[in-house]
Structure 1
Amino acid sequence: MMAAPIRKTRGNRRVPSMKTVFNTLMTPRIACALLLAAACAAQAHAQENTFAPLLRHLADRLVTADQVALSKWDSGQPVYDPAREAKVIANVSAEAPGYGLAAADAGNVFTDQIEANKEVQYALLNDWRRAGAAPTAQRQSLPEVIRPKLDGLQKSILQALRDAAPARSQTDCPTQVANAIGRVAHEKSLDTLHRIALDRAMARLCTAR
Structure 2
Amino acid sequence: MTRPRVGMLAAAIVGTTAALTVAFPSVTPAEPVTLSPLSALVEASAQRLLIADDVAAAKWDTDLPINDPPRERQVLDAVTAMAAEQNLDTGFVYRVFRDQIDATEAVEYTRFAQWKFDPAIAPTTRPDLSAARVTIDRLNRVMVTEIAEQWDTLHTPGCRARLAAAQAAATAELGLDPLYITALTRATGSYCTTL
Residues paired across the two proteins, number: 166
Whether the aligned pair in 1 keeps the contact of 2:57 and 2:125 (CA below 8 Å) is no
Distance 2:188 2:147 in 1: 12
Match of 1:169 in 2: 155
Letter in 2 for 1:195: I
Letter in 1 for 2:107: V
* Bigger helix fraction: 1
Letter in 2 for 1:124: R
Equivalent of residue 56 in structure 2, options 51, 56, 69: 69
Equivalent of residue 139 in structure 2, options 146, 153, 176: 153
Distance 1:189 1:55 in 2: 14
Whether the aligned pair in 2 keeps the contact of 1:73 and 1:134 (CA below 8 Å) is no
Mapped pair 1:184 → 2:190: no
Aligned alpha-carbon RMSD (Å): 1.9
Match of 1:13 in 2: none
Distance 2:123 2:188 in 1: 31
Match of 1:11 in 2: none
Mapped pair 1:51 → 2:8: no
Letter in 1 for 2:184: L
Which protein has greater RCO, CA pairs closer than 8 Å, 6+ apart?
2
Letter in 1 for 2:176: L
Distance 1:106 1:136 in 2: 34
Match of 2:106 in 1: 119
Report the structure number with the largest CA radius of gyration: 1
Distance 1:146 1:73 in 2: 15
TM-score normalised by structure 2 residue count: 0.78
Pairwise CA distance, 1:173:
1.3
Runs of 4+ in 1 over 3 A off after TM superposition: 133-139
List runs of 5+ in structure 2 lacking aligned partners.
1-29
TM-score normalised by structure 1 residue count: 0.73
SS of alignment partner, residue 186 of structure 1: helix
Letter in 2 for 1:163: E
Identity across matched positions, percent: 30
Match of 2:89 in 1: 102
Pairwise CA distance, 1:132:
2.2
List runs of 5+ in structure 1 lacking aligned partners.
1-37
| 1:158-200 Cα distance to aligned partner (Å, 9 max, x none) | 1111111111111131222122201111111111101110000
Distance 1:124 1:93 in 2: 29
SS of alignment partner, residue 36 of structure 2: helix
Equivalent of residue 76 in structure 2, options 67, 86, 89: 89
